[in-house]
Amino acid sequence: MLKGQDIICISSADWDAALWTNKQHLMSRLAETNRVLYVESVGLRRPTLAPTDRERIARRLRHYAEGPRKIAGMNLYVLSPLVIPLYHTEFMRRFNGWLLLNEVRRTAERLKMEHPILWSYIPNAYALSGHLGEILTIYHCVDDLGSIAGIPSTAVRKMEERFLHTADAVITTSRALYDARKGTNRNTYLFTNVADAEHFGKALRADYPIAAAMEAIRRPVAGYVGALDAYKVNFPFLAEVAQRLPQWSFVLIGPIGQGQPSTDLGLLKALPNVHLLGWIDYRDVPAYLKGFDVALIPHLLSDYTTSSFPMKLYEYLAAGRPVVSTPLPAIADVDMVRFADSPEAFANAIVAAHQENSPELVRRRVAEAKQHTWEARLKSFDEVLERVYLQRAARAPDHE
């Protein structure tokens, strides 16, 4: 069903974002057998005067002026639409929907995409559904967007309610997301996030070099890789954990405050055993994971994280690393993880996990990760789309 079919992806992330998420990973793989129009984020959060937001606005204006661009070596085109990031009123939601539809339709016509699959990560796509000649509409719900700080939750939920009724299928990545949406759309499915097990497995190879920056850091190391945003990571919690383990080095890798410019890491920066290494290229992550003794998921417990399934879980496990996490409901059933809900318990869990590096335990972690790969997920998606397409065809007038 998927192979050879044009896809229009309405994303919640820019293509060249510092950290790739589900959207870019999936669409880059689909572009190997399909032609993809990747529509960058329309900006649900109102911009601030923070440098990160100003830079993003300037980049968006530049990309918009350049028009749709083809990514080198890929059958994938990126569109940077211009909308007004205000959604509090029905008028603004309709106006932005009209702007988005016209830009996407104009680009699709230029690319001669006549009967694409509309695949959206944001509910704004309700305004496009039924207007692009699409053969299927998929809502890929990977986050509870309405619970993110700074995003107009009421407006998002109103748009999502419409989109749930018009989408042919809804794909969710956590039990909480699935349970909250299955009552509105009968074709709702649960598929957790996955990982490139082969890529992250490089960290276990004896001939694969450790990153130079990690060689200079005292062991043992407890590390985190991902977005460093206050709505996601519990920084005060982690600072207390680091204070309880002064003999450990804590390494945090990732961009700071891109999703929440007000993010403040002052508590962590003041600690001598905490190392902030900034953003690194996805291709180099295994070299850094090779220097981790324990991998961390110190996420806040909130409405947002309750619904999220961190991609980094299977990436950590594919690298053979023991994982310590706060008790996130989405990953509660993964028995390869130690969970702790207080700084004291989290610190103790790190020390205990450090002892769990026998060849058998490493093998089990890798085996668990290999059950959740992009190859397996693409096959599952193909089966779902085939099933939903047949349902839609059976409802068409010429089948009545």
Q: Is residue 122 part of a domain?
A: yes
Q: Residue 185: how many CB atoms within 10 A of its CB?
A: 18
Range of the domain at 252: 197-370
Q: Is residue 383 part of a domain?
A: yes
Q: In terms of domains, do 209 and 239 share one?
A: yes
Residue 242 corresponds to which tokens in the numbers above?
């680091």
DSSP state letters, 38-104: EEPP---SPP-SSHHHHHHHHHHHHHHHH-SEEPTTSSEEEE-----S--SSHHHHHHHHHHHHHHH
Q: What does the alpha-carbon distance between residue 8 and residue 39 come to, in Å, rounded to a whole number?
A: 7
Say if CB 200 and CB 369 are below 8 A apart: yes
Q: Is residue 1 part of a domain?
A: no
Q: What does the alpha-carbon distance between residue 181 and residue 171 come to, in Å, rounded to a whole number?
A: 10
Average of per-residue pLDDT across 44-73 = 72
Q: In terms of domains, do 204 and 352 share one?
A: yes
Q: In terms of domains, do 209 and 228 share one?
A: yes
Q: Is residue 100 part of a domain?
A: yes
Q: Is residue 268 part of a domain?
A: yes
Q: In terms of domains, do 272 and 366 share one?
A: yes
Quote the pLDDT of residue 51: 67
Q: In terms of domains, do 232 and 152 share one?
A: no
Kindly report the pTM of this predicted structure: 0.91
Which class for 206: exposed (0-12), middle (13-18), buried (19 or more C-beta within 10 A)?
A: exposed
Q: In terms of domains, do 274 and 390 share one?
A: no
Average of per-residue pLDDT across 97-102 = 92
Q: In terms of domains, do 15 and 92 share one?
A: yes
Q: Is residue 2 part of a domain?
A: no
Q: In terms of domains, do 208 and 248 share one?
A: yes
Q: In terms of domains, do 264 and 204 share one?
A: yes
Q: In terms of domains, do 13 and 88 share one?
A: yes
Mean pLDDT taken over the chain: 91
Q: What does the alpha-carbon distance between residue 216 and residue 28 come to, in Å, rounded to a whole number?
A: 34
Strand ranges (E), 115-202? 117-120, 136-141, 169-172, 188-190
Q: In terms of domains, do 185 and 203 share one?
A: no
Q: What does the alpha-carbon distance between residue 303 and residue 319 come to, in Å, rounded to a whole number?
A: 29
Quote the pLDDT of residue 360: 96
- Span 255-306, pLDDT tens digits: 988 777 778 898 999 999 999 999 999 999 999 999 999 999 999 998 888 8
- Span 171-217, pLDDT tens digits: 999 999 999 999 999 999 999 999 999 999 999 999 999 999 999 99
Q: What is the end-to-end Cα distance of the chain in Å, rounded? A: 23
Say if CB 226 and CB 312 are below 8 A apart: yes
Query: Under DSSP, is residue 106 helix (H, G, I), strand (E, B) or coil?
Result: helix
Total domains in the chain come to: 2
The CATH code of the domain that includes 100 is 3.40.50.2000
